[in-house]
Structure 1
Amino acid sequence: MKNGVTIGQAAAFVGVTVKTVRHYHKLGLVAEPERDGSGYRRYGSGELLQLVQVRTLAAAGVPLAEIAPMLDADAARFGAALADVARQLTERIDELVARRDTLHRLADGDRALLPDRACAVLARMPGLGFGPDYVAAQREALVLARALVPEGFDGFLAQLEHGLDDPEYVDLAKRGREAETWEPDDPRIEELATAMADHYLASPALRGDHAGLQAWAKASAQYKLINDHRGDQAPVAARLTSLTEAKLRAAGVRLPNR
């Protein structure tokens, strides 16, 4: 009876494929036995032990490239190597959990792109009388603001929160939407711009904090992209925004240049 088993038997005993065993040989992780008189490689207990060790480490998440030095390491180095692998696995687990959470958020629509606090702001708007188009525009603006000016996002969000708590701001915002149906030279546009600017000047919370204002003041290109992200913006809306901003700048409020 010949000593040892064939590569197929060795693979089956250890729980891997023949292709995997050959890959271990190629990487130098397991010694390749000599051929016997019949031309077959026979795997003895030594090779089987190596196969089990490599398979166990690989199954535990140790990269194949790091297994060879571990097999020759003393107890202290082996323990340190295992600890490093454990750290890497923890990082991968955290990354996978974050990806899973993102998938869950995707199922909830806005929560995939915006934090819960921003979603709460958007959820309040319909109850205050804002229509779907307005809410959609605000959603897009928030997504862009978070991506393009992250350091100014919290301030922008706080301004919206304060605005929704302010009945006069809500009324002015609704009038701004109504104004989109006016003629571009309607004198009410100038009056509304003055009312909006005056209300902003009288309500510091609506203008944002110092850090947020600085962030936006340095982001002119991003500011323009966010404000003009809807190519179908009514001419009246653009004029109303321009007039309001001009009045605020004249009063000393720092705003990005378009």
Structure 2
Amino acid sequence: MMTIGELAKLAGTTVRSVRYYHSNGLLEEPQRQPNGYRTYRAVDLARLSRIRRLRDLGIPVAKIAELLDGDAHDTRSALDALDKELATKAEQIAVQRAHIESLRRNADPELPDAFSEVLAQYVVAGAPTAWIDNERELLILALTVSGGDPEVCDSLLSAHRRVLAEPNREQAIELITRMYALADAPADADTIAALAIQFCDFTESVLPEQAAPEDASPTRLVAVLREHQADRRTVTQERFSKAVAAEFAARQSRL
């Protein structure tokens, strides 16, 4: 005979757990003795030990009742199912840990390594911080809206790598710097027009797929990126954007 405290200690669990198993019907609750205490027998200890081992394996309480009253085949089947479930969870955890490790190494936790490396190259090349911050937001938006579509990712990476390749890099950084300088001070029409022509020349040479007037019916991705850009332009930058669109349209009409 043993008290509930002694039973719990021998089974390696707690009095609270024993009472919980009583409430769930896993462990029969003995009648109180004349002295007011409940006493437990060896058979109760054996059953409680089985309950604790099954719980330690992660088997739900509802399933434990079936196993305790079933045969050895039921137990093996339940353990096989549990093993398969744990194997799946282990694979998921391995993927999550690999992602966490990637984030630790990555200079920008919100972007995949390849995009983070591209932005790092712009930093080294001397691109304006404001432009890099804006480009980072554009990349995050593009990946979010596209759902990380591999085709979109490849297209974005290809464009940036061509811009950063020699001999394009120096001209690209100069253009970016001059375009972003428009945010700080007004510019006359001739300055804006000249910069728009240089921008269009560079785009036709390095990014020909982008050298066209804006599509009147853009994809959802393009529409979101345009909206993002429009929200951040100053008055002078908006004038530059319109000058670029007009220059591309004029070139298209001459074809």
Q: Distance in 1 between matches of 2:142 and 2:250?
A: 25
2:139 alignment partner, one of 137, 142, 157: 142
Q: Give the drift of 1:160.
A: 1.2
- State the alpha-carbon separation in 2 of the partners of residues 16 and 46 from structure 1: 16
1:95-244 to structure 2, matched below 5 A, reads 95-101=92-98, 103-104=100-101, 107-108=104-105, 110-150=107-147, 151=149, 152-168=152-168, 170-182=170-182, 183-203=186-206, 207=210, 217-228=219-230, 231=232, 233-244=233-244
Amino acid at match of 1:63: P
Give, in angstroms, the shift of residue 98 of structure 1.
Answer: 4.8
Shift, 1:235, TM fit: 3.1
Contact 2:141–2:225 (8 Å) recurs in 1? no
- Corresponding position: 1:37 with 2:34: yes
Q: Give 5+ residue unaligned stretches, structure 2.
A: none
Q: Distance in 1 between matches of 2:105 and 2:90?
A: 23
Equivalent positions of 1:78-89 (< 5 A) are 78-89=75-86
> For 1:84 and 1:244, how far apart are their aligned partners in 2?
63
Shift of 1:126: 2.4
TM value normalised by structure 2 = 0.77
1:52-67 → structure 2 map (5 Å cutoff): 52-67=49-64
Q: Quote the offset at 1:118 in angstroms.
A: 1.0
1:90 equivalent in structure 2: 87
Cα distance in structure 2, aligned partners of 1:77 and 1:246: 76
Please tell me the root mean square deviation across aligned C-alpha atoms, in Å: 3.1
Matches of 2:120 and 2:79 in 1, distance apart?
Answer: 48
Partner of 2:22: 25
User: Percent same amino acid at aligned positions?
Assistant: 26
User: Are the equivalent residues in 2 in contact too, given 1:6–1:42 (CA < 8 A)?
Assistant: yes
Q: Secondary structure at the match of 1:112?
A: coil
Q: Which runs of 5+ in 1 are unaligned?
A: 253-258
Partner of 1:62: helix, strand, or coil? Answer: coil
